[in-house]
Structure 1
Amino acid sequence: MKIAFVGAGSVVFTQGLLADLFAFPELTDVRVALHDIDRDRLDTALAAARHIARVRGAKPEITAHLERRPALDGADFVINIVQVGMGGATRTDFEVPGRFGLRQTIGDTLGVGGIFRALRTFPLLRGLGADMAAVCPDAWLLNYTNPMAMNVQYLVEATGLTRVVGLCHSVYWTVRGLADLVDVPYEEIVYRAAGVNHQAWILRFEHEGADLYPRLAELAERDPQLRRRVRFDMFRRLGFYPTETSEHSCEYVPWYLHHDREVERLRLPIGEYLRIVAGNEASYEQTRAALAEGEPLPVEGTMEYAPQIIHSIATGTPRTVYGNVPNHGLIPNLPAGGAVEVPCLVDATGVLPTRAEALPPQLAALNRAYLSMTDLVVRAAVEDDPRHVRHAAMVDPATAATLSVEDIWRLCDDMVTAHRERLQPGLRAVLGYGYQGAGAGALG
């Protein structure tokens, strides 16, 4: 069995996934192909992979490739962890909108940051899809790259791949955190979540047949610090707890980031992802230095879904994971074709998404706004229409709550200019303020 890592230079993430993989006795002799376009990072990933294999007592065949197609050739699983443009592009995603007064905390899912992260990733995904169709057409593509919903929808629509599952740890770690809060062992909690990536909802949260939500609400009433978190504010108003951090969740709604009072009340860390990027860069340098000096590296599991999926398909071991997949009747009151996050059954037959039923209307309303925005970004790329880039920013909740429509278009022009070389040629146009497209002359 062969597993290809695309973007293996994301060394810290690659380390965690390999530590999980090699912890399974049945996977200790797999073939692992590491691909990255950065030679230094690829060499570091290769050294880290060999170290982890030794510590785990595994004997995989590990190869490293600067070219993508040889890494993919004959793969059974492809794990995509690419970040196009790395930290430099992320800093642009914050600095340019910041000049317009637009606040972002994470900027990797929705918002102007999410839009342009997607647009610079789509050309890579198209090439990845073409290579997989040529050399490993039956492989499962396990995508970790954000923005998850946009990338999964684009992969399915633009590449024709069907074995695509987007993976994120937010549901798992949300429930682990809630279990600690209510003082119930995670293993004893019965839960179910559904929605969209980074904005799914804990719909069922029980212990021994009893609903745990009243206990969670009581804790928040007693603890003013809990109430100073976006997720608890949303829980109090919507009745259900969202599955991503407050730093993430504040960006997907129009209620918080535009208001100084709310930023202070809810302790919103503007620019938080820039600090995360700096930490990741420091971790990479530490890993690189430790390997060069022959110092031991910690080998720790991460409980990520990709190794569990690979193990289940390889061995037939049944599991349930949360995956991001096209909405083909899975959540009936969300748009068809958009990427939704639902429980998926995994065994030797593959990954089978399960129907989640209709969401409560207030939750579906927020998820529909999210998916409408992500669909416009995908439409921009699939139809090669730069107007849809602006349309997506216009309907993005946090952006629309902050900027005038003229500033939104001006900001998009500046972002296109900043990221120009990473965008597909048809989306590089600077549109200005002129009337655009068919029907522009029919002014009422």
Structure 2
Amino acid sequence: MKTGLKIVTIGGGSSYTPELIEGFINYYHELPVREIWLVDVKEGREKLEIVGNLAKRMVKKAGVPIEIHLTLNRKEALKSADFVTTQFRVGLLAARGKDESIPLKHGVLGQETNGPGGLFKALRTIPVILDICAEMEELCPNAWLINFTNPAGMVTEAVLRHSTIKKVVGLCNVPIGMEMGVAKLLDVDHNRVRIDFAGLNHMVYGLDVFVDGVSVKDQVISLITDPKKSITMQNIHAMGWEPEFLKALDVLPCPYHNYYYKSEEMLEKELNNFKDGGTRAEVVKKLEAELFELYKNPNLAIKPPQLEKRGGAYYSEAAVRLIHSMYTDKRDIQAVNTRNNGAIASIPFDSAVEISCIITKDGPKPIAIEDLPIQVRGLVQQIKSFERAAIDASVSGDYGTALLAMTINPLVPSDTKAKVILDEMLEAHKEYLPQFHSFSEKGV
């Protein structure tokens, strides 16, 4: 008879894993996790062992009876799981480097979840998540899939539209990061802050902002026009906002909106970094090397504070809070990626949206907003069109659909440039894009 929960983490050798372990330790007395299986691929064996041994030291130091298992055998791990979390990167950081550098060579923004980089991360990732879903259908059909893998919205929607798995939730640390940012900005406890979120992953807006149930949206919007008070992330340069624009927008943008509302400035910044030999992938490689050296220390038995520089702040809090709320049927409000079901009128019913939801034992229940404000609706719909085409291309391997997705993305200036970038990236990533074999064979 089972006496606790079995958690499986695919991509267990990630530098983020100590965040997740810390979260399960902190919640143990309300979330009785019996065993955590950390799964990775052969190329990640060394990192898996380093992170896994740190995880074992962490649970031992905490005095909680959680068993940590390490394996390269995904099917072995998935059997009878209660929750499956995914945090993998197909092609590792080398692939991210190509996602960032190739578009920049052509004067187009290179970023891992936006523009051409986001498209190619989806093309590599979606076939793998669908393979995982097929294995879950066989080995743990009642488990919840909690996806952290980027691009989280597209990955979640691919599962909803192209697998029989319906118990799936996509999660990002941007909403909780924005809440934490507002709390810091106003010098109040995070628990007093609530933001009503709606939109898409990395394209989500705060429609209203509350402290103790009282709207403070106008105050927050006024404050974040100052670059020093911007609500941002480690991997996104803060530039502030034009006060008149933000006031007219009348909603709280997320950090990733810099790429759309400040495209020229962000591209210039990325190009300067690129010329100096520094894409974000190169920065992350150095950070990860430093982190794994720390993780190797046999005397380290906690999550090191240096992990916050990696860009995953509040990751464990968001992840474990979600699982805890589902397990206990807490019915609190959290922003997650889930099936729209009409919550946002201008988005297809079967698409994934990132929206404030009531979290129940039966999953997230989106809080319907009727529709997005007209001033942001068009951009969100354009990105959703891009996402739908990208997902279709990921599944079909159709070159024309991939070119369509690339071209309709607002960060790509023309179909001619889209084709040049698409062809070069298909060649660069061909090892991880077997669905596009006809392109490689024919040289489309």
Report the TM-score, using the length of structure 2 for normalisation.
0.85
Q: In the alignment, which residue of structure 2 is the partner of 1:369?
A: 382
From 232, 237, 247, the equivalent of 2:241 is 232
Partner of 1:125: 129
| Correspondences of 1:54-133 after superposition (within 5 Å) | 54-104=60-110, 107-133=111-137
User: Structure 2 stretches of 5 or more lacking a match?
Assistant: 231-236, 306-313
Shift of 1:359: 0.9
**2:309: which partner in 1?**
none
Structure 1, 341-350 or 112-121: larger mean CA deviation: 341-350
Question: Residues 428 and 13 from structure 1, CA distance in 2 versus in 1: closer, same or farther, beyond 3 angstroms?
Answer: farther
1:47 and 2:53 matched:
yes
Show the counterpart of 1:394: 407
Q: Which residue matches 1:344?
A: 357
Which residue is 1:158 aligned to?
A: 162
- What TM-score, normalized to structure 1? 0.85
1:186 corresponds in structure 2 to 190
| CA 256–26 in structure 1, closer or farther in 2 if over 3 Å, else same | closer
- After superposition, residues 214-363 of structure 1 pair within 5 angstroms as 214-219=218-223, 223=226, 229=238, 232-233=241-242, 235-243=246-254, 245=255, 248-251=256-259, 253=260, 255-258=261-264, 263=268, 273-291=280-298, 294-298=299-303, 302-363=315-376
Q: Do the aligned partners of residues 63 and 225 (structure 1) sit closer, same or farther apart at CA in structure 2, a change above 3 Å counting?
A: closer
Tell me if structure 2 keeps the 8 A contact 1:166–1:325.
yes
Kept in 2: contact 1:28–1:58 (CA 8 A) = no
Equivalents in 1 of 2:382, 2:441: separation in Å? 25
Q: Deviations over 1:173-203 (max 9, x none)?
A: 1122123223444333343111111111111
1:177–1:428 CA distance, 2 compared to 1 (3 A): farther
Give the structure 2 partner of residue 148 of structure 1.
Answer: 152
Please report the RMSD computed on the Cα atoms of aligned residues, expressed in angstroms: 2.8
SS in structure 1 of the partner of residue 402 of structure 2: helix
- Aligned equivalents of 1:196 and 1:427: distance in 2? 31
Structure 1 range deviating more: 184-193 or 69-78: 184-193
Instruction: Give the Cα separation in 1 of the matches to 2:17 and 2:36.
Output: 11
Q: Secondary structure of 1:178's partner?
A: helix
1:220–1:384: structure 2 CA closer, same or farther, 3 Å change rule? closer
| Structure 2 CA distance for aligned equivalents of residues 185 and 249 of structure 1 | 26
Structure 2 vs 1, CA of residues 220 and 71 (structure 1 numbering), >3 Å: closer, same or farther?
Answer: closer
Can you list the C-alpha shifts for 1:191-241, whole angstroms capped at 9, x where unaligned? 3111111111111113356432332344356x4755894563463452211
Query: Larger deviation: 303-312 or 208-217?
Result: 208-217
**Which amino acid in 2 is paired with 1:242?**
P
Q: 1:29 to 1:226 in 2, by over 3 A?
A: closer
Q: Percent identity?
A: 27
For structure 1, which segment, 203-212 or 326-335, has the greater mean C-alpha deviation from structure 2 after superposition?
203-212
Whole-Å separation in 2 of the counterparts to 1:344 and 1:49:
31
Q: Residues of 2 paired with 1:15 and 1:150: CA distance?
A: 26
User: What code does the residue aligned with 2:76 have?
Assistant: P
2-side partners of 1:380 and 1:178: how far apart?
A: 38
- Cα distance, 1:336 vs structure 2: 2.8
Instruction: Give distance in 2, aligned partners of 1:427 and 1:373.
Output: 22
**How many angstroms does 1:95 deviate by?**
2.0
CA distance change for structure 1 residues 119 and 29 in 2, over 3 Å: closer, same or farther?
closer
State how far apart, in whole Å, the 2-side matches of 1:283 and 1:185 are: 32
Q: 1:3 aligns to what SS in structure 2?
A: strand
Say which of 401, 419, 422 aligns to 1:412. 422
Question: CA 1:325–1:314 in 2, change beyond 3 Å: closer, same or farther?
Answer: closer
CA distance, structure 2, for counterparts of residue 369 and residue 432 of structure 1: 31
SS in 2 for 1:304: helix
